[in-house]
Amino acid sequence: MSDAEPRTVRVVPNGPLMVQGPVRIEMPDGQIVESDRFMVAVCTCRRSKDYPLCDTSHRCRKRPGAPAKRDAPADKVASAERPA
Ligand code: FES
């Protein structure tokens, strides 16, 4: 057993794992990714171009069933945009 304080890992809903840094991440192919930041965001969505580190690409995710802005109902379109 170690006397060290437990390291805090915070799960962000629909986002990354926030891990107290610095961290060394060992990838399945043996690659080592290191970050010396105080808090490191580890990607869980696999959309990051900087995987395994989060680049906030998870924010682009659409919620299931959420209508696209272009698909707004006709009554929500400004009257100037409606056909006569
Ligand atoms: S969790 Fe942020 S880009 Fe994947």
Q: Dump pLDDT digits (tens) for 17-71.
A: 999 999 999 999 999 999 999 999 999 999 999 999 999 999 985 655 666 555 4
How much distance in Å is there from the Cα of 73 to the middle of ligand 1? 31
Q: How far apart are CA 79 and CA 72, in angstroms?
A: 13
Pocket test for ligand 1, best of 12, 45, 50, 60 (most atoms within 8 A of CB): 45
pTM attached to this predicted model: 0.69
Rounded to the nearest angstrom, the distance between the alpha carbon of 9 and the centre of ligand 1 is 15
